[in-house]
Chains A and B, each alone.
Chain A
Amino acid sequence: MKNFNGKVLFLDRSDINTDEIIPAKYLTEISKEALKPNLLEDLKLEGFSPSADIPGKSIVITRANFGCGSSREHAPWAFEVNGINLIIAESYARIFRQNMFNCGMMAIELPKETIDHLFKVYQRKEVTIETDLDRNWFTIRSGSRIEEIPFFISDYDRSLVLAGGWVEFADRHY
């Protein structure tokens, strides 16, 4: 199983699309590792710099309709090779969300109020999250502040995360 703990990168915008996550010109790369320097290279977001903001981060918190656009699984892979296996957002585009779980990664949805709260309290601070997959909650820490936030994951998505992805699951079952 992948690691779902670590420091948080806040991306304060809705509708971040897959071309922004990894531009089409890198789709000719055959190895996932080659995508590493290009994650979020074309992201339109005031004040964001990939080289300064991505290193050391393991989790992304963002807004609505994350990952819209193309079907490229290169988008989750670009996160994966940068050590980011967990994304927390208000909502996702269907294919992106499925690709995440198919790779054994997690794309978790939280209600808009909770996302608003997280941005209000923690954005621009040093924040870490620990994921408890047995009890379905995140422990969020920043300085001396600690907060616990429950999340929902369906049995099916959990089985994909535990199996390490859909290929193994499907080959066993069908």
Chain B
Amino acid sequence: MGKTIAEKIFDSHYVDNPSGDIHVIRLDAVFCHEITTPAAINDLVSRGKDRVFDPSKIKAVIDHVTPAKDSKTAIQGKILRDWAGRHQIRDFFDIGRNGVCHAIFPEKGFVRPGYTIIMGDSHTCTHGAFGAFAAGVGTTDLEVGILKGVCAFHYPKSMKIEVNGALPKGVYAKDVILSIIGKISVNGATNKVIEFSGSTVDAMSMEARMTICNMAVEAGATSGICRPDQTTVDYLWEFIKDEFQSRASALEAFSAFAPDPDAKYDSMITLQAETIEPLVTYGYKPDQVKTVREMEGERVDQVYIGSCTNGRIEDLRAAARELEGKKIKDSVRGIVSPATPLIYHQALEEGIIKIFMDAGFCVTNPTCGACLGMSNGILAPGEVCASTTNRNFNGRMGKGGMVHLMNPATAAASAVKGCITNSEQYMHGR
């Protein structure tokens, strides 16, 4: 019988089947950040098990609050830093070299097709864009991952979501995933892996694929996953060129993790790209989605462009196209956080940072910051933020604040107008 991508990965990483459909699998990488890892480290130390299974397979970053904003966040950073030092974890990224985890780890080439990855962060599903099984876990799973290099999961059921056709101008990967979540709801994919496919996904860049996989968890999915293809190989080539003779041979090797034509899916959904238009969330759940048209004119106090969902170079370019030669409304606070130092550099070189600054945006260092309401742009009660992030939960960006999720071009256009509005790219097909 044919297999899905997730089944192929599970079968090639099998360690044990302790009971029922629980599979313990071997991990290729364990990612760590300073918010959820210190508790795992402290617990390992207190149990007398302060060890790591393989320092070369552990990658760590301080990204959520950086620079530290108070003593507590400084201590969290220190615990991670000291631990990385004493276990010779060489891929550790501290301030000046750090960026949002789900942007910087792929950028460094740490994700490969067929990999199994866990991290104490729900948006770990982002890395499925490379044809990897990547899942967010809690502190205890992370702890065991660090100690033993294994993790237990239910054997994966997959939901196939096929998107076909060409996206209209001004419609982005963010709109694709928002429309999917709006359709299947916040628990539409619980305990399942979403396998994204179809000509629209095949035509997407790695950045766009990361955006759709990033938000798979907002529909409850364990992971999002895309078939590895030429785009994957080209993105990874500089990191894998010593391992393969040619791009073609890399593609052939990665094809081992393509789904079989007769693979069995738990459910299937098909979407037509032409019918998707720019979307925005309106409530406290990511499945509360309306078209930008329906939300037109809704006041915004802050516009935030960044995060592991939409803080990559393509996202900054899309926003800059909208902002070029314009000023944002006086009543709006615009904040942009390039997700990594490399993205920041690229944006500088391409003149994008200047466009943002001329428009009146504040450019922050790479960090999660306002996305989770810990620093760099917390809302006051009653304030509204147009945001390119992935979560609109009550209080997410500050108690009493409201977050509307949208694509970067819509966010930029809304900054200019001071209210939710469609981008010119969409309206005039620029």
A residues at B contact (CB < 8 Å):
15, 17, 19-20, 23-25, 27-30, 42, 44, 64-65, 68-74, 76, 91-96, 98-99, 102-103, 154-156, 159, 165-167, 170-171, 173-174
Provided the pairs A24-B374, A165-B140, A166-B141 are in contact, do residues A93 and B187 lie with their beta carbons within 8 angstroms? yes
Tell me which residues from 384 to 419 in chain B have a Cβ below 8 Å from any Cβ of chain A. 391, 393-396, 399
Q: Contacts A29-B72, A165-B140 hold; do A69 and B122 have CB atoms under 8 A apart? A: yes
Tell whether, in the assembled complex, residue B22 and residue A71 are in contact, meaning their CB atoms are under 8 Å apart: no
Is the beta-carbon distance between B139 and A73 smaller than 8 angstroms? Answer: yes
Q: Give the complex CA separation of A73 and B141 in angstroms.
A: 10
Give the Cβ gap from A23 to chain B, nearest Cβ, in Å.
6
Please report the C-alpha to C-alpha distance between residue A117 and residue B6 in the assembled complex, in whole angstroms.
38
* Cα of A29 to Cα of B191 in the assembled complex, Å: 29
Contact present for A174 and B396 (CB under 8 Å): no
If A30-B38, A30-B76 touch, whether A156 touches B18 (CB-CB below 8 Å) is yes
Given contacts A30-B72, A42-B394, A65-B186, 7 further A-B contacts (CB under 8 A): A28-B374, A29-B72, A30-B42, A68-B220, A72-B138, A98-B137, A154-B19
Question: Can you list 24 A-B pairs with a CB-CB distance of less than 8 A?
Answer: A17-B285, A17-B393, A19-B394, A20-B393, A20-B394, A23-B373, A24-B373, A25-B373, A28-B35, A30-B72, A68-B186, A71-B120, A74-B39, A93-B220, A155-B19, A156-B20, A166-B152, A167-B140, A170-B144, A170-B150, A171-B148, A174-B15, A174-B148, A174-B150
Q: Flag if A25 contacts B374 (CB, 8 Å).
A: yes
Q: A15 to B181: give the CA distance in the assembly, Å.
A: 14
| Most B-side CB within 10 Å, residue of A25, A155, A167 | A167
- The CA-CA distance from A111 to B120 in the complex, in Å, is 30
The A-B contact count (CB < 8 A) is 144
Contact: A174 with B24, CB < 8 Å? yes
Question: Which B residues have a C-beta under 8 Å from some C-beta of A?
Answer: 15-16, 18-20, 22, 24, 35-36, 38-39, 42-43, 47, 49, 65, 70, 72-73, 75-76, 79, 120-122, 124, 136-141, 143-144, 147-148, 150, 152, 186-187, 190-191, 220, 222, 284-285, 372-374, 391, 393-396, 399
CA distance A28 to B137 in the complex (A): 18
Expressed in whole angstroms, the Cα–Cα distance for A71 and B124 within the complex equals 10
Which of A65, A94, A159, A167 lies at the interface centre, i.e. has the most chain B CB atoms within 10 A of its CB? A94
Q: How far is the CA of A94 from the CA of B220 in the complex (A)?
A: 7
Contacts of A44 in B (CB 8 A): 284, 394
Compute how far the CA of A76 lies from the CA of B139 in the bound complex, rounded to whole angstroms: 11
Query: Contacts A30-B39, A30-B42, A156-B19 hold; do A102 and B191 have CB atoms under 8 A apart?
Result: no
User: B395 contacts A42, CB within 8 Å?
Assistant: yes
Contact assessment for B394 and A15 in the assembled complex, using a CB-CB cutoff below 8 Å: no
Q: Are A98 and B15 in contact (CB under 8 A)?
A: no
Contacts of B36 in A (CB 8 A): 27, 71-73
Residue in chain B with minimal CB distance to A104: B140
